[in-house]
Amino acid sequence: ETGVTQTPRHLVMGMTNKKSLKCEQHLGHNAMYWYKQSAKKPLELMFVYNFKEQTENNSVPSRFSPECPNSSHLFLHLHTLQPEDSALYLCASSQPPSSPLHFGNGTRLTVT
């Protein structure tokens, strides 16, 4: 399996649920990212991990909790989300310092 794989592809959750998004990359990269894409807005950088260390938290609410156990895996734990959190969540990886980002297929999240 190659590239960046995200699961699940679609997720519907209630505001009181707890769920996790998973991302795995097979490109040998050392940096991984979570981006949020909402309608009519540019991609918003949420979190950056470089060599498993979190290097960026872009003022993301604490109801989003990232986890990076190794350079190939990235999780986004979700709890008590709001309807405005409904969006496409994209995982990406790259090789520092300036190589392009490679995106996964995304998880379409709907919060009801």
Q: Contact between 106 and another protein (CB under 8 A)? A: yes
What is the pattern of x (binds another protein, CB under 8 A) and - over residues 58-87?
------------------------------
Query: Which are the contacts of 27, defined by CB distance < 8 A and separation ≥ 6?
Result: 2, 3, 4, 93, 95, 102
Q: Contact between 31 and another protein (CB under 8 A)? A: yes
What sign has the CA pseudo-torsion 86, 88, 93, 94?
negative
Interface ranges with another protein (CB under 8 A) = 30-31, 33, 40-43, 45, 48-50, 55-56, 88, 90, 94, 96-106
